[in-house]
């Protein structure tokens, strides 16, 4: 296994994202996924591709390695659905393709490499040679979220007074709001009035 990848999911992410720019001519025709479906070579050194991964962890790292899309470059988004899937967008054409493993990919791999000592090794061996078209499913999609911000200005949320960058604000009834203030928060504020109660509840849980 390629040592750049921490686990099999890394490698699978690479398979998902790699364009036909690899050395093997025979394999080139099989690896026409994210890059080729969008008419782009990967990994990218520019910001013309944006990848959205639907799970965190090593799959996301693998997608970054394969595509050149990174959180730090603002070309990778994480929308945590807990699914091994990713969507790749050509920023210039706005063509987007979502890629995910075929439901029978594991079974197909195990059947293919029956001599392997265990399922994991079977998958690793089989994924090297089974055409990507048999392992992955693809669908062209339209991305609903605004991926590229054209204005780097700062706005102040009318609800919480915090700054919002990169045009990630929402306008409701004429008010500029952050996503959290529209009810889309991933957290709930613990007010001082019930802080003690929350603390007691946590202590009880620890004692149990
Ligand atoms: Zn707010």
pLDDT, position 16: 53
Question: Which of 29, 20, 67 lies closest to 48, judged by CA?
Answer: 67
Q: Separation of 111 CA from ligand 1 center, angstroms?
A: 52
Q: Separation of 96 CA from ligand 1 center, angstroms?
A: 30
Q: Separation of 158 CA from ligand 1 center, angstroms?
A: 6
Q: Separation of 185 CA from ligand 1 center, angstroms?
A: 9
Question: Which of 197, 199, 198, 163 lies closest to 180, judged by CA?
Answer: 163
- Classify residue 14 by its DSSP letter: H
How many C-beta atoms lie closer than 10 Å to residue 32's C-beta? 16
CB of 75 within 8 A of CB of 47?
yes
- State both tokens at 110: 């195990």
Q: Separation of 153 CA from ligand 1 center, angstroms?
A: 16
Phi-psi region at 88: left, alpha or beta (left = phi > 0; alpha = psi -120 to 50): beta
CB of 178 within 8 A of CB of 159?
yes
Which domains does the chain possess? Answer: 8-141 (3.30.1330), 155-207 (no CATH)
Q: Separation of 184 CA from ligand 1 center, angstroms?
A: 10
pLDDT per residue rounded down to tens, the chain (208 residues): 344 444 555 555 555 554 333 333 333 333 347 888 888 999 999 999 999 999 999 999 999 999 999 999 999 999 999 999 999 999 999 999 999 999 998 888 888 888 888 888 888 888 888 888 888 999 999 998 887 777 778 999 999 999 999 889 999 999 999 999 998 899 988 876 677 887 888 888 888 7
Q: Separation of 71 CA from ligand 1 center, angstroms?
A: 23
Tell me the three state secondary structure of residue 139: strand
- Tokens 């965190």 belong to which residue? 56
Question: What's the whole-model pTM score?
Answer: 0.75
Q: Separation of 176 CA from ligand 1 center, angstroms?
A: 9
Q: Separation of 182 CA from ligand 1 center, angstroms?
A: 8
Q: Separation of 181 CA from ligand 1 center, angstroms?
A: 4
How many Cα atoms within 13 Å fall on the side-chain side of residue 49? 29
- Tokens 């994991």 belong to which residue? 120
Which residue(s) pair with 86 in the sheet? 53, 99
């Amino acid at each position: 296994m390629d040592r750049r990848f921490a686990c099999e999911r890394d490698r699978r992410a690479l398979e998902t994202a790699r364009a036909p720019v690899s050395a093997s001519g025979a394999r080139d025709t099989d690896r026409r996924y994210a890059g080729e479906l969008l008419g782009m070579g990967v990994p990218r050194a520019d910001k013309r591709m944006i990848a959205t991964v639907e799970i965190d962890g090593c799959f996301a790292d693998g997608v970054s390695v394969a595509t050149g899309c990174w959180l730090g470059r603002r070309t990778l988004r994480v929308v945590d659905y807990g699914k091994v899937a990713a969507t790749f967008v050509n920023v210039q054409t706005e063509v987007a393709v979502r890629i995910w493993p075929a439901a029978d990919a594991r079974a197909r791999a195990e059947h293919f490499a029956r001599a392997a000592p265990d399922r994991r090794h079977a998958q690793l061996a089989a994924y090297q040679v089974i055409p990507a078209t048999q392992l992955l499913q693809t669908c062209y999609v339209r991305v609903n979220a605004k991926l590229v911000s054209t204005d780097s200005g700062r706005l102040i949320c009318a609800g919480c007074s915090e700054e919002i960058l990169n045009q990630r604000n929402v306008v409701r009834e004429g008010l500029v709001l952050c996503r959290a203030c529209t009810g889309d928060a991933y957290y709930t504020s613990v007010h001082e009035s019930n802080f003690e109660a929350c603390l007691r509840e946590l202590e009880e849980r620890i004692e149990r």
